Amino acid sequence: MLTPALSNHGSYRGRFAPSPSGPLHFGSLVAALGSFLAAKSQQGKWLVRIEDIDTPRVVPGADSDILHTLEAYGLHWDETVVYQSQRHALYQDVLNALQNQGLVYACQCTRKEIKQRGGFYDNHCRALHLPFAGNALRLRQNFPVDTFKDQIQGQVHIPTNIAQEDYIIKRRDGLYAYQLVVVLDDIDQQITHVVRGADLLEPTARQLGLFEQLKHPAPQYAHLPLVVTEPGLKLSKQNHAPAIDRCDPIPATLAALRFLGLSPPKDLDSLAIEDILKWAIASFSLQKISKLTEKPLSDAY
């Protein structure tokens, strides 16, 4: 079912897990480069996982475009690329085990109803014993996490109502939810360190609780500041962020290195991308990265 996770004191295993909903943009590059440098600076493995579990958002060909872009930027992954869409049997096995333990229940609440009750789910359907068919499935939150230590952001505090919420692990439309599959993938791939954007700080608390529920050690987390075009507006595929240039990777790479707290020397842009990355690996440290959760794009360029 699941392979045992490595101890956090063992070999470093990091990952970059893009969703194939469009090409990589500058914010994606920062996340990819940050996770790559963190792994390679520790002589660790860097894996790539395509998070295509949310099939309505998948853009045909985006996965191939992402992988070719990573290669153009010198970000070569270790081991075979994993696709979530090919791992349904693993997810269902774990879901069945949780159901057999009485930890899963059906929920019929709509987003509108939840909003009317205060904007967060209040475990309304726990005692209703609704049929699983046609309803969303929620996990009983027996291991709420409202604070954790992040390697960049320091001590992170999560609102109690979010920490205690029974969250969805299989959607009404039959798709497995991100909160479930990301933990199962990290366990199965023996991920020891996760470096990703600060927009995932709150979901981390739920994921830490699920690791505890499944009796597996959790990875160490480091959340990078988000690239924003203006305060509160994350650079993302949803707001049509432009794709990074695959033909000339050096300018964006140097900008991403500056965003990650490094100070590339002026003559670095005359080197090949592989040599730039060698310098970056030798110079990289999580302690150099800003603790701010948002940084404007102008800070990099």
**Residue 247 annotated in ligand binding:** no
**Residue 51 annotated in ligand binding:** yes
pLDDT at position 299 is 56
The DSSP bridge partners found for residue 206 are none
The DSSP bridge partners found for residue 138 are 105, 168
Looking at residues 138-149, what average pLDDT do you find? 97
Pair 213, 187: CB distance under 8 Å? no
Q: How far apart are CA 153 and CA 222, in angstroms?
A: 7
Q: How far apart are CA 294 and CA 301, in angstroms?
A: 15
Phi, psi of 233, deg, nearest 5: -115, 95
pLDDT at position 300 is 55
**Residue 79 annotated in ligand binding:** no
pLDDT of 263 > 80? The answer is yes
DSSP state of 247: S
**CA 213 distance to own-chain centroid:** 20
pLDDT of 295 > 90? The answer is no
pLDDT of 242 > 90? The answer is no
pLDDT at position 6 is 42
Q: How far apart are CA 150 and CA 233, in angstroms?
A: 23
**Residue 109 annotated in ligand binding:** yes
Question: 3.40.50.150, 3.40.50.620, 2.60.40.1120, 3.40.50.920: which CATH number matches 13-299?
Answer: 3.40.50.620
Q: How far apart are CA 189 and CA 169, in angstroms?
A: 20
Which tokens is 79 given?
Answer: 């081991």
pLDDT of 301 > 70? The answer is no
pLDDT of 294 > 90? The answer is no
**CA 128 distance to own-chain centroid:** 33
**Residue 15 annotated in ligand binding:** yes
pLDDT band at 7 (very low <50, low <70, confident <90, very high): very low
pLDDT at position 241 is 72
Looking at residues 248-271, what average pLDDT do you find? 96
Looking at residues 48-67, what average pLDDT do you find? 97
pLDDT at position 262 is 97
**Residue 206 annotated in ligand binding:** no
pLDDT at position 4 is 44
Residues 6+ apart with CB under 8 A from 65: 23, 24
**Residue 178 annotated in ligand binding:** yes
**Residue 17 annotated in ligand binding:** yes
**Residue 49 annotated in ligand binding:** no
pLDDT band at 239 (very low <50, low <70, confident <90, very high): low
Q: Please state, for a pLDDT cut of 90, what percent of the chain lies above it.
A: 85
How many H-runs (helices) and E-runs (strands) does the chain carry? 9, 13
pLDDT of 298 > 80? The answer is no
pLDDT of 117 > 60? The answer is yes
pLDDT of 64 > 60? The answer is yes
pLDDT of 293 > 90? The answer is no
Looking at residues 15-35, what average pLDDT do you find? 96
On average, the pLDDT of the chain sits at 92
pLDDT at position 8 is 44
Instruction: Report the 10 Å Cβ neighbour count for 102.
Output: 8
pLDDT at position 238 is 57
Looking at residues 54-74, what average pLDDT do you find? 97
**Residue 291 annotated in ligand binding:** no
Q: Classify residue 179 by burial, with Cβ atoms within 10 Å: 0-12, 13-18, 19+.
A: middle
**Residue 246 annotated in ligand binding:** no
What are the tens digits of pLDDT across the range 179-226?
999 999 999 999 999 999 999 999 999 999 999 999 999 999 999 999
